Amino acid sequence: MIKVGIIGAAGYTAGELLRILVNHPDVEIVFAHSSSNAGNKVYDVHSGLVGDTELCFSSEYDLNAVDVVFLCSGHGKSTAFWAENERPAGLKVIDLAQDYRDESCGYVYGLPEINRDRICKTDLLANPGCFATAIQLAILPLAAAGLLCSEVNITAITGSTGAGVKPGATTHFSWRNNNVSVYKAFEHQHLIEIGMNVHNLQPAYDQSINFVPVRGDFARGILASAYVDSDMTAEEAVALYENFYKDAAFTHVFHSNVDLKQVVNTNKCLLSIEKHGSKLIINSVIDNLLKGASGQAVQNMNLMFGLPENTGLRLKASAF
């Protein structure tokens, strides 16, 4: 059994991580750390786990007692954690914050569709951002083929869980309900990791990646629409994408319109591809808490420990 520890276990991503791991056939959860909830049952916070586990939150943790630790605290807190703690030899780390997504300090960027071999060999894993996952899966096949030849224009809408569990003015129900809004247009932090991987695959690419994020009035899921100039036919583009993802466990080309209900509660990414005149449009849908966070983290854990990457992740979409 893989012995697992979770730091920052009271948030949305940690709740989804616990939901997956309590049912994972090869995992034993040793600790779920949360100073503010220490002593309480995990299901007192993550109420969907009533009847699934009697695990309690702990105020202490022993990194020597686990094989892998998931860091689920806020951005910037992972570097602070390692400033205060020493990593035991052989301990694997999966960081769900953005601290190491630039692959600093020996971390590998954990997008299995492009980095599977490196993920299998690393002990230090930086889990991708949610918008970044949906967008990269939409455009990286073009970059890998050297076919990005224009600006990339993206609009993507996300559910309220993408803002985290801590309440704020733009996550309050009375503001978010029946409302949508643009935020961080052209300057969202996930553009850094998107740009890094586009340039890794197509070093000569020198155009802009324009991204307009939108807050949605729903709880979970991301729909990203990206369009670029392209000389390919729709059939050629579909063939390119299907070949690129032929070995992907969770990313699939769908031959019709995609929607969030196909992927919410799963670790899937579904892509649809259309050609309109000179424009190629790729629509990408994921669950921001699963393929965009905790599901992908478990997928990466499976790869790091030599398990089939879909272990514990055969999840059914809610659909209705």
Residue 60's pLDDT band (boundaries 50, 70, 90)?
very high
User: Mean pLDDT score of the chain, rounded to an integer?
Assistant: 96
* Dist. CA 293–CA 221, nearest whole Å: 11
pLDDT in tens, 200-211: 999 999 999 999
Q: Are the C-beta atoms of 9 and 29 separated by less than 8 Å?
A: no
Which of 56, 105, 120, 130 is catalytic? The answer is: 130
Residue 129 CA to residue 288 CA, distance in Å, equals: 9
**Which tens digit of pLDDT belongs to each residue from 199-245?**
999 999 999 999 999 999 999 999 999 999 999 999 999 999 999 99
169 or 306, greater pLDDT: 306
Specify the domain boundaries for CATH 3.30.360.10 within the chain: 130-286
The reported pLDDT for the residue numbered 183 is 94
As a whole number of angstroms, the distance between CA 81 and CA 236 comes to: 47
- Average pLDDT rounded to a whole number, residues 182-190: 94
With a cut of 70, say whether residue 164 has pLDDT above it. Answer: no
Q: Are 214 and 181 in contact (CB under 8 A)?
A: yes
Question: Residue 75: what pLDDT?
Answer: 85
The count of other CB atoms within 10 Å of the CB of residue 104 is 10
What is the CATH code for 2-127+293-304? 3.40.50.720
pLDDT of residue 161: 86
- The ranges of the chain annotated as CATH 3.40.50.720 are 2-127+293-304
Q: How confident is the model at residue 124 (pLDDT cuts 50, 70, 90)?
A: very high
**pLDDT class of 170 with cuts at 50, 70, 90:** confident
Residue 288 and residue 286: Cα distance in Å, rounded? 6
User: Is 130 part of the annotated catalytic residue set?
Assistant: yes
Residue whose C-alpha is closest to residue 258's, from 217, 286, 237, 230: 286
Give the tens place of pLDDT for each residue, 149-158: 999 999 999 9
| pTM of this structure | 0.96
Which CATH superfamily hosts domain 130-286? Dihydrodipicolinate Reductase; domain 2 (3.30.360.10)
